Structures are given as C-alpha cells and as structure tokens.
C-alpha cells in the first residue's frame, strides 16, 4: 500500500511539476533548489520502478510523463548545479568533484536526459519488455553520477 501511495504521490508531482531557480545569493537557496530538482527525478524513477516490479498499476500516459519529468529534471539540474557551492554545502550529499569535473558531471546529466527521453517513448505504451533495457540504461546514468559525485 505504501508503494502505491508513493507512486500516486509521484504521479501527482509529475502532473504538476514546476520549478523556479534559486534567487538568493547564499549557497543555501541553490542547494535547496538542487534538492528539489533531484526529488522530481527520484520520485519519478520510483513510480517507474513500482510499475516495472508489478507493485502498482500505472497507465502509459503517467509512465511517459514520469520519464519526461526525469528528462526535465536532468535539464534543470545543469543550471541548478552550475553554481559552485563548495563553501556553503552544509546539508547536502553533493561532492566537490562536481565542480572539479564539471564537464563529466554535465555530460552525465545530459546522458540521463537522453536516456529518460528514450524511455518515455516505450513508457507511453506501458510495455515492460521494451522499457526494461531503457530503465537499465537510465538507472546506469543515475548510478554513475551517484557513485562519482554524491556522498
């Protein structure tokens, strides 16, 4: 039941996704904005995973929007992480390696966006067989980034 509620919450987030850039010039607002952007990706990945495991029933339109929201989060994340907040990273799991290896980090976000866009096509049909390899590809982009750029 909890996973169904999580999927429903993710679906609601997907339906009403909006994001605004951080406006404060201290690093805390930038860090919070990044967390918000990555929460979109995580919730959407959770909904897709719930469907793939057979733990919740979601229709193709919701699944496609979940994948598209991950792509959207990837696009937003490039700008959200661009501000170097190493000096004010009180409550974050982001590593300084992000800004030390910006091109690699940005490339990973772009790969995530591309993989999520590919997944959205198969997800629209709710075709688990077609979605499986694309979920693995997308999950690999997430893992690579988390392994190298997240505590």
| Per-residue model confidence as pLDDT tens digits over 115-129 | 999 999 999 999 999
* Among 149, 145, 139, 144, residue whose Cα is nearest residue 46: 139
Per DSSP, helices labelled H in 22-101 are 27-52, 60-82, 97-100
- As given in the structure block, the two tokens for residue 115 are 């993989």
Instruction: Write out the binding residues for heme c.
Output: 142, 145-146
pLDDT at residue 148 tops 80: yes
Q: In this structure, what CATH number is given to the domain that contains residue 135? A: 1.20.120.10
Rounded to the nearest angstrom, the gap between the alpha carbon of residue 100 and the centroid of all alpha carbons in its chain is 22
With cut-offs at 50, 70 and 90, classify the pLDDT of residue 92.
confident
In this prediction, residue 21 carries a pLDDT of 45
Q: Are 77 and 17 in contact (CB under 8 A)?
A: no
Task: Quote the number of domains for the chain.
Answer: 1
Of 20 and 52, which is predicted with more confidence?
Answer: 52
Question: Whole-model pTM?
Answer: 0.81
- As given in the structure block, the two tokens for residue 144 are 């690579």
d(CA 123, CA 63): 5
With cut-offs at 50, 70 and 90, classify the pLDDT of residue 30.
confident
């Amino acid at each position: 039941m909890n996973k169904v509620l999580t999927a429903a919450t993710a679906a609601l987030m997907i339906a009403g996704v909006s994001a605004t850039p951080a406006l404060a010039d201290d690093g805390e607002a930038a860090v919070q904005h990044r967390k918000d952007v990555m929460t979109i990706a995580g919730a959407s990945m959770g909904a897709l995973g719930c469907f793939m495991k057979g733990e919740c029933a979601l229709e193709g339109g919701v699944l496609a929007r979940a994948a598209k929201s991950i792509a959207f989060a990837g696009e937003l994340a490039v700008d959200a992480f661009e501000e170097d907040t190493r000096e004010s990273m009180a409550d974050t799991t982001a590593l300084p390696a992000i800004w030390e290896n910006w091109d690699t980090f940005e490339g990973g976000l772009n790969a995530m966006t591309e993989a999520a866009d590919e997944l959205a096509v198969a997800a629209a049909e709710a075709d688990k067989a077609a979605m499986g390899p694309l979920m693995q590809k997308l999950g690999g982009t997430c893992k690579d980034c988390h392994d190298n750029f997240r505590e």
